[in-house]
């Protein structure tokens, strides 16, 4: 199994300038129920998966459960 350097993956994460116009478009936390996972982190995971073509299950652990990222992508 090939180990990928985490720093090489992070260089493609959203910058503050890229995130600023997207942040207001993200849904607020619900009044009831579970809070949303970090929107920026989920978007970074979706972009990584799209860019590399890796299976959802192979997302690095720093993004949290792959099912969360998958479900948010499907929404």
pLDDT digits (tens, 9 = 90+) for 38-58: 899 999 999 999 999 999 999
Cβ 13 vs Cβ 41: under 8 Å: no
Q: Is the pLDDT of residue 19 over 50?
A: yes
Cβ 12 vs Cβ 47: under 8 Å: yes
Cβ of 9: how many Cβ atoms within 10 Å? Answer: 15
Whole-angstrom distance between the N-terminal and C-terminal Cα of the chain?
31
Q: What is the pTM of this model?
A: 0.78
Mean pLDDT over 6-18 rounds to: 77
Nearest-angstrom CA–CA distance, 53 and 50: 5
């Amino acid at each position: 199994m090939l180990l990928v350097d985490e720093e090489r993956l992070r260089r493609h994460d959203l910058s503050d300038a890229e995130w600023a116009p997207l942040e207001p478009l993200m849904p607020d936390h619900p009044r009831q129920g579970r809070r949303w996972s970090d929107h920026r982190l989920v978007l970074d995971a979706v972009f990584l998966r799209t860019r590399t073509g890796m299976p959802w299950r192979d997302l690095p652990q720093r993004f949290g459960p792959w099912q969360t990222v998958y479900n948010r992508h499907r929404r």
